[in-house]
Amino acid sequence: MRTIDFTPLYRSAVGFDRLAGMLESAARTSQENGWPPYNIETTGENAYRIEIAVAGFKPDELSLEVKENLLTVVGKKAANDDATAAQKTYLHRGLAKRDFERRFQLADYVVVTDANLDNGLLSISLKRELPEALKPRRIEIGTGAARLIEGEAAAA
């Protein structure tokens, strides 16, 4: 694996150390096995959806957790499914029913709004919700009228 040197970024930018860490993390996780397959799509200006192919998993075998801008999706097959599978003789086994853990780094103010399992696809809806203090606001511009300083009389 090739490492990236972020020294020039640290010399000329302040407060981007978290971005460098995210890029390094993304480079490491891109080397993973890629299972289960997934899509990330934008569904609006501040809305996103992650779809993960989880064929064979039941809702109680899947869990989602968000902690410190990291969304973790975990799939654990129930123990009784393993016992049933051991009794079967497969000529070809193309459907993987193995445990998995998939992580997604979320930007600031991105929250999970919904999760649904339908036809083997786990669909996770996300939305960027900016606090009021960060939303653009209009600042009124005053006129050139002289302002009085408290305790001083207006100059005539």
User: Is residue 95 predicted with pLDDT exceeding 70?
Assistant: yes
List the structure tokens of 43.
């569904």
More confident residue, 133 or 3: 133
- Measured CA to CA in angstroms, residue 27 lies from 23, 36, 123 at distances of 6, 18, 25
Q: What is the C-alpha separation between 100 and 77, in angstroms, rounded?
A: 9
Residue 36 DSSP code: S
User: Is residue 83 predicted with pLDDT exceeding 60?
Assistant: no
pLDDT in tens, 8-45: 766 666 666 666 666 766 666 554 567 899 999 999 99
CA 144 to chain centre: 48
Which residues have a Cβ under 8 Å from the Cβ of 101 and sit 6 or more positions away? 72, 73, 74, 75
Model-wide pTM > 0.75: no
More confident residue, 71 or 138: 71
**For residue 97, what pLDDT is reported?**
75
**For residue 25, what pLDDT is reported?**
67
Domain 34-130 has CATH 3.90.1150.10: no
List the structure tokens of 77.
């097959």
Average pLDDT (56-74) is: 94
* SS3 of 45-61: CCEEEEEEECCCCCHHH
Instruction: Count CB atoms within 10 A of the CB of residue 111.
Output: 13
Q: What is the C-alpha separation between 88 and 43, in angstroms, rounded?
A: 42
**In the chain, which residues fall in CATH 2.60.40.790?**
34-130
**Mean pLDDT value across the chain:** 81
User: Is residue 149 predicted with pLDDT exceeding 70?
Assistant: no
**For residue 47, what pLDDT is reported?**
95
In our burial notation (b when 16+ CB lie closer than 10 A, e otherwise), range 74-89 reads: ebebeeeeeeeeeeee
Q: What is the C-alpha separation between 35 and 99, in angstroms, rounded?
A: 10
Q: What is the C-alpha separation between 34 and 24, in angstroms, rounded?
A: 18
